[in-house]
A and B are shown apart, each in its own frame.
Chain A
Amino acid sequence: MFGYIVHRLLIMIPTLLVISIVIFTIIQLPPGDYFSTYVAELQSQGEAVDLQKIAFLKAQYGFDKPVWEQYLYWVAGLLHGDMGYSFEYNLPVRDIVGDKLLLTFIVSFATVVFTYLVAFPIGIYSATHQYSWSDHTLTFLGFLGLATPNFLLALVLLYVANVYFGISIGGLMDPRYLDEPWSWGKLVSVLQHLWIPVVVIGLSGTAGMIRRLRANLLDELHKQYVVTARAKGLPPFRALMKYPLRMALNPFISDIGSLLPHIISGAAVVSVVMSLPTTGPMLLDALRSQDMYLAGSFLMFLAFLTVIGVFLSDLALAALDPRIRLRGGVTR
């Protein structure tokens, strides 16, 4: 086991290196750089541009240097924990990202809890009551959830919430709480606003999870050991929980790998539509305006989390499922 962990950890290094090259290349691919995008944006609003200031910044940040030199500079910074400097915000990247992470955590965590709370009971219920009237209804709702584009749902709910409940459009709290320290009123306001994004982001995930849980569980329920357990008089609930459900969970544990980056990045499209103060819109803006250190460092952070997440879920699977062996064919 120890050798396996070390091996996996070492493999992360070349993986991340390759990812960093890909990220940097892709960010550099569109013509121009941050400053030309910035100048174009100002000009499109009819504003004046101080080209001298821009020349100063370009020289400061090494835009006149070859690309590989810029890349090395960036990577060297990352190794020291310096994520670089955002031109858009005119601040070090760490100061910007840190601020948004908390709210992203809240939204994503609430979404995960919502998904699990809704999906598990429903999934189990429809598997155990296969082809019943209630199973068909829930299945129908599940497909509806899968098929609705969530940005559309977001727009509809925003409108309803504003016109009927008087909740401000977009954002995660009433505008007057934005700069306040945390208080009871602010918490209530956040909770009032939170349900829309949570439902919207969570809906398709919930629907998908219901379907998968149902299918996995159905596979197990017809196996002989379940029949045996029942025949031997194990109470039905215990006979369900003890083995079939545990078996059905494997895919969810391997999902943790992708869950981790999701929690950090938030659902970008929905966040943009609802103008949530999460990291998703920030990343999108950074990519659009070619704010390369902000975009690059943040993507790198996500890649790092993905790699870690996959690693953790593999370990968890190995620990939870005794059937999994570290090397195929060694024990037979």
Chain B
Amino acid sequence: MRRLAVLAIALLAAAAAHAEAPAVKETPSLAAQVKGGELPPVEKRVPSAPLVTQPTEMGKPGGELRLLMAGAKDTRLMVVYGYARLMRYTPAYELEPDLAQSIDVEDGRRYTIHLRPGHKWSDGVPFTSEDFRYWYEDIASNPKLSPSGLPEALLIEGEKPKVEFPDALTIRYTWPRPNPLFLPALAGPYPLFIYAPAHYLKQFHAKYADPKVLAARVSEAGVRNWAALHNKLDAQYRNDNPDLPTLEPWVLKTRPPSDRFIFARNPFFHRIDPAGVQLPYIDQVTMAIADAKIIPAKTGAGESDLQARYLRFDNYTFLKEAESRNNYSVRLWRTAPGSQLALYPDLTVSDPVWRELMRDVRFRRALSLATNRHKINQVIYYGLAIEGQNTVLPKSPLYQAKFREEWAKFDAKAANKLLDEIGLTQRNDDGIRLLSDGRPLQIVIENAGESTEQSDNLELIRDDWRDVGIELFSKPSQLKVFHMRAFAGETVMSIDKGFENGLPTADMPPLELAPVSQQQLEWPKWGQYYETKHQAGEAPDMPAAQKLLALLRQWFDSKTHDERRQIWEEMLEIHADQVFTIGLVAGVPQPVVVSNRLHNVPVEGVYNWDPGAHFGIYHTETFWMAPDASTAASDAPNGKKAE
């Protein structure tokens, strides 16, 4: 079963790892603390093998970056924007080591993580394999702290990895089978943290702490037991504990609750620029909390230096109008869902007549052909979006034009012909076709009723579909109800976001393409079947769906990049041909407001969660504030492009 051939792929970032590290320079804002003896000098603070990052434009350290957020919970976004990970994505969506000096992969199942010598937490304590051991043995394997066991990404068919800690800088995870989920999980915006600051958290762990002291701490915090206290304080992602040491470029300094959170530079951050200046450039990030609805207005009043969250496409004109008055520029970045909105014909709907019709590929193709995407793009999105199927975006390395264009060109004639071929030739007095049992062909499209955007889109589609003899009704409901109905097979068709990630690489699991979750509205019951390990739902009985599942399985067993690429392409091909979902338009622009003083923010970028971490992959640590706006304004157009 196991192959003995060992294929070692060293995932080394070529430039960064091999370049001789330049001599480091002290950061001006920290000089006083170093002099006063509160901080060691910069040579002692950065790892002896720091990560040299090439910024688009060499910056100057200092300055303050102001952000607006809608709630105290949003402090977690600094972990997303900071984006310090064991592995991270480059702006071209390739993986490179970051916190780790390197990760050796053998056979896709043995991962050896090498840490940077001299790397320290933000409180100056060394970052070593003990932090990994503490996380694995005392957090993830502790039934009180992790009642549901290890995270999904660490289990391959329920099997745990063998984890070893050969020395202070080396950690090795070994699975019996390949685990392709491991590295992408480490690089996520909400990463799989396989380490934790042991020296800090041991104070709150029953195994290490003095029971009396711990009991006092528990009652002081107003929580129920030590496990709840530990989980509350171990907030590496939630980022609401100012005492928790971190590896991120900025460290939370304000204790919640507050309406303004300060993040100060991490004096022990591991990246430097080629001139030896320790990153991040920006000394302090200030996050002001305001109501989500007032954030566009406040941004327009110049109260944020970098804002995309809580801005919507329809704020664009307003923001643009105040651009010169408040000395910022509005950029339009692309968003990355496979389709902004897509229609989901439910292949597993309970009603037998509908089920048979939905499963007829000609019917799905006809619906897609009868939809005028160009009109939607022009009317709702000012023609700025990309029309076509729900599939990968042009920026993804897996993109092929035919995936997006197949069966997506508006052609009412061809649609009518297909519908006639199926045998839906009978019509009622209104010109609406009749189903095989005599009911009129009225499709109720259900949605969660969250935005007018969905109903606007449906309104436009309604007219087109009428022309081919199909009547469309929109039925908004409440999210929970919407899901319950879909899972129960009562929904004939629904409208929702397209594929979450339109920018996959071959190394990301093609989970969205195969029936593996009941959240997939095109086949909730098949998804249930997979999710519940065949306890509920129905087994996929369409050859195309079975093929997709088989391909997914192959992907998990695959060892090489080429193999995975081939599988991805085959799956995308099946989707394009079968039209399981009817995509409308994609890449709807996201307004990004950037102060004219802020440098190194790309003019064109992709605003995405995973991969992307919003601003994260564009190296927020190299963003810098010019003291004078006039110089920056002239440079802004030369900013780095996304690719």
What is A's interface to B at a CB cutoff of 8 Å?
Answer: 31-32, 36, 40, 44-48, 50, 52-53, 55-56, 59-60, 82, 85, 88-92, 94-96, 99, 158, 162, 168-171, 175, 178-179, 272-275, 277, 281, 285
Contact = CB atoms under 8 A, between A and B. Distances in A.
B383 to A, nearest CB: 24
B490 interface: no
B194 interface: no
A171 B298 CA distance: 11
Contacts of A59: 147
Most B C-beta atoms less than 10 A away, residue of A44, A82, A99, A169: A169
B147 A175 contact: no
B426 interface: no
Nearest to A273: B294
A227 B189 CA distance: 80
B165 interface: no
B190 A50 contact: yes
Contacts of B608: 46
B222 A92 contact: yes
28 contacts: A31-B481, A40-B479, A45-B309, A46-B608, A52-B146, A55-B147, A55-B148, A56-B147, A60-B224, A85-B222, A85-B223, A88-B71, A88-B73, A89-B73, A89-B257, A90-B240, A91-B256, A94-B222, A95-B257, A99-B258, A158-B297, A168-B298, A168-B303, A170-B290, A170-B291, A178-B259, A178-B288, A281-B291
Contacts of B148: 52, 55-56
Contacts of A272: 291, 293
B635 interface: no
A171 B240 contact: no
Given A272-B291, A275-B290, A281-B291, A178 B260 contact: yes
B297 A169 contact: yes
B308 to A, nearest CB: 11
B303 A169 contact: yes
A223 to B, nearest CB: 51
B286 interface: yes
B298 A169 contact: yes
Contacts, number: 105
Contact of A96 (B149, B221, B257): B257
A1 B27 CA distance: 74
A178 B258 contact: yes
B544 interface: no
A54 to B, nearest CB: 10
Nearest to A47: B609
B121 to A, nearest CB: 22
Contacts of B497: 46
Contact of A46 (B223, B254, B609): B609
A47 B288 contact: no
A111 to B, nearest CB: 20
Given A52-B148, A90-B232, A275-B291, 18 more contacts: A47-B609, A48-B188, A50-B190, A53-B231, A55-B148, A56-B147, A56-B231, A90-B256, A92-B222, A168-B298, A169-B297, A169-B298, A169-B303, A170-B291, A175-B303, A178-B260, A179-B258, A281-B291
B394 interface: no
B188 A56 contact: no
Given A47-B190, A88-B71, A171 B259 contact: yes
Nearest to A285: B71
B296 to A, nearest CB: 11
A182 to B, nearest CB: 15
B286 A175 contact: yes
A113 B435 CA distance: 71
B610 interface: yes
Contacts of B240: 90
Contacts of B60: none
Most A C-beta atoms less than 10 A away, residue of B224, B337, B479: B479
Given A32-B480, A60-B224, A92-B222, A48 B71 contact: no
B29 interface: no
Contacts of A277: 259
B301 interface: yes
A170 B298 contact: yes
Nearest to B240: A90
Most B C-beta atoms less than 10 A away, residue of A60, A272, A281: A60
Contact of A48 (B147, B189, B291): B189
Contacts of B610: 48
B75 to A, nearest CB: 10
B228 interface: yes
B58 interface: no
A274 B478 CA distance: 28
Nearest to A57: B231
A91 B228 CA distance: 12
B310 to A, nearest CB: 9
Contacts of B254: 179
Contacts of A171: 259, 288, 290
B151 interface: yes
Contact of A99 (B190, B257, B291): B257
Interface string B115-148: 0000000000000000000000000000000111
Which 4 residue pairs spanning A and B have beta carbons closest together?
Answer: A178-B260, A92-B222, A46-B609, A48-B190
A116 to B, nearest CB: 30
Most A C-beta atoms less than 10 A away, residue of B72, B151, B259, B286: B259
Contacts of A56: 146-148, 231
A65 B623 CA distance: 49
A45 B222 CA distance: 31
Given A92-B222, A179-B258, A52 B151 contact: yes
B577 interface: no
Contacts of B286: 175
Most A C-beta atoms less than 10 A away, residue of B257, B293, B303, B481: B257
A96 B222 CA distance: 13
Contacts of A36: 480
Contacts of A52: 146, 148-149, 151
Interface in B242-299: 254, 256-260, 262, 286, 288, 290-291, 293-294, 297-298
B500 interface: yes
A231 to B, nearest CB: 60
Nearest to A100: B257
Nearest to B224: A60
Nearest to B607: A46
B355 interface: no
Contacts of B481: 31
Contact of A91 (B257, B260, B450): B257
B228 to A, nearest CB: 5
Contacts of A82: 222
Contacts of B640: none
Nearest to B235: A90
Interface in B308-366: 309, 337
B478 to A, nearest CB: 7
Interface in B45-77: 66, 71-73
